[in-house]
Chain A
C-alpha cells in the first residue's frame, strides 16, 4: 500500500516536472502523444458549430486576409494536420498551458491573447478583438481538441522539438544548397511560395507575404525544430539535425516584413526585442536585415 502510494506520487511529480527538460524527440518515442478527439464526435449543436468555424478559420485563414491577416499564410502552414499533429505546435498542447507567463511580453497572457500574438506576428496582421467571433471560434476549436488532456502539464509533442546544438554553427551557404535540393520545389527558388488559381498552395517563407520579424518562426532554433520534425511535407525527420539548422539559417537570413514593435531604428529594435538566435539587424551580404520596411 505504502509503496503504491509513494509510487503514485513519484509518477505525479515526474509527470509535472519531466516534460520541461526531456528533449521532445526522446519523449515522443517514449510516450504515445495525446490523441485529440475525432471530428465525428463533434455534437450537432451551437458548440459544435463554433468548433467547426474555428477549424475552418484555422485551415482557411486566408478568409481573414485584409482584415486580421496581412500575409499569405494560414495557421495550418505551421500547425500541421489542422493543429492536431504532435511536434507541430498542436493546439491541444498549447490550450492547456495557458494562462502563462511569456518572456516575449513580460506578462501573463491568456490563450486568447496568445492567439492575438499569432495574428500580429506570424500572420503579419492585426489582433482580432477579444470575445469576437474569430477568437471565440479559434479558442473553442483549441479547447475541444484538448478534450481530456491534463491542464497545466507540458504534454509530449508540445511546440516544436528542441534540437541539440549542431556540431557546426548554422551556416547560410550550406543551407542554400539544402534549400535548393529539398525546399525550392514547393516554396520556390525565391522563397515566395507557390500559388495556384490565385491562392497560395505552398506558403511563402520570406518576403512581403511571409511572417514578420516578430514571429517566433524567425528564430533559427524554432525554425530548425519545425523543419526537422515536419519538412519536407510527408518526409518528417528526413533531414539531419545539421541540415535542419543550416536550412533554417538560410530561410531566416532573408528580408521579411518589419517587426511591429519597431522603434524607428533597427539597432534599437534589435537591442530591445531580439536577444535570441536570429538574424534581425545583422548584416548579411551587405544588407542589414530589418532595414527595409514592408
Chain B
C-alpha cells in the first residue's frame, strides 16, 4: 500500500534534490573557462586542480569544505570579505555556479611540496598551533581547525597544506577589517592578539602539513 506523499515528505524530497544538485562537471567548466558574465576562469590563479600558487599567495582550494567555499563566495558578493580581484568574480557567479565550483574544488586532491620539518620556524609554529598562546588568550589552532588541521565542518576551514603567505595575509585582513566574515568575530579577536612573528610561524607550520587525503 503506497501512501500519498505528504507535504513534509515532498519538502524533504525537494531539499534532498537541491542538496545534491551540485554539478561537478559544470563546476569544472567554470574553473577552466569562467562564464560569459565576467567571471574569469578560476584556474588562472587557483590552477585547475585547486593547488593555488604559493609564491603569489593565491590559496589552495583543493579539498576545502564546499560549504565553506560557497560561503566565502557569497561573502565576497556581499562585501563582508573584501578583495579587489575576487569580489567582481564572485558577483558574476549565480548561486548555482557557486555551488558547482565549490563542490568541484572540494573534491580535488593534490599533493603539496612540504616544507622541511626541521625548520625552526615550523617547530615554533607547531608548538603554537598544538598548544595555543594562552597568555594572549589564544587557544590551540587545532582545537577548532581539527587535530591535523584538516578543517571541521563548514565554518572551520582546513589549513593543512595551505600556502603560508595566504594564511598570514588573512591575519592582516582580519586585523584591518577587510575580512569580517568569521563567525562571532572569532578570528578577528585572535588576529588582533597574535604577535606578528607567531603569525609567520603558524602559517609556516600549516603550510608544511599534508592536506586532506
A interface residues (Cβ-Cβ under 8 A, vs B)? 80-82, 84-85, 182, 185-186, 194, 196-197, 199, 201-202, 232-236
Contact = CB atoms under 8 A, between A and B. Distances in A.
A196 B158 CA distance: 11
A82 to B, nearest CB: 7
Contact of A234 (B151, B152, B155, B189): B189
A185 B155 contact: yes
A196 B153 contact: yes
A81 B134 contact: yes
B186 A235 contact: yes
Nearest to A88: B134
B146 interface: yes
Contacts of A196: 146-147, 150-153
Contacts of B131: 81-82
A81 B184 contact: no
Interface string B69-100: 00000000000000000000000000000000
25 contacts: A80-B134, A81-B134, A82-B131, A84-B134, A85-B134, A182-B184, A186-B144, A194-B152, A194-B153, A196-B147, A196-B151, A196-B153, A197-B146, A197-B147, A197-B150, A201-B146, A201-B147, A201-B152, A232-B186, A233-B139, A234-B138, A234-B186, A234-B189, A235-B189, A236-B137
B39 interface: no
Nearest to B213: A197
Contacts of A194: 152-153
A143 to B, nearest CB: 20
B132 interface: yes
A20 B98 CA distance: 58
Nearest to A188: B153
Interface in B113-156: 131-132, 134, 137-139, 143-144, 146-148, 150-153, 155
A234 B189 CA distance: 8
A80 B131 CA distance: 10
A70 B144 CA distance: 23
B150 A185 contact: no
A201 B144 contact: yes
Nearest to B155: A185
Main secondary structure of the interface of A (DSSP, over half): mixed
Closest 10 CB pairs of A and B: A81-B134, A196-B152, A196-B146, A201-B152, A233-B139, A185-B183, A234-B139, A201-B146, A234-B190, A234-B186
**Interface size bucket, B side?**
20 to 34
A133 to B, nearest CB: 23
A235 B186 CA distance: 8
B71 to A, nearest CB: 13
B143 A185 contact: no
A203 B186 CA distance: 18
Nearest to A202: B152
Given A82-B131, A185-B183, A185-B184, A234 B137 contact: yes
Nearest to A35: B135
Given A185-B155, A194-B153, A235-B184, A199 B147 contact: yes
Nearest to B136: A234
A269 B12 CA distance: 43
Given A202-B144, A233-B143, A234-B137, 16 more contacts: A80-B134, A80-B139, A82-B131, A84-B134, A185-B155, A185-B183, A194-B152, A194-B153, A197-B148, A199-B147, A201-B143, A201-B152, A232-B184, A233-B186, A235-B184, A235-B189
Contacts of A232: 184, 186
A233 B134 contact: no
A257 B2 CA distance: 40
A128 to B, nearest CB: 24
B147 A81 contact: no
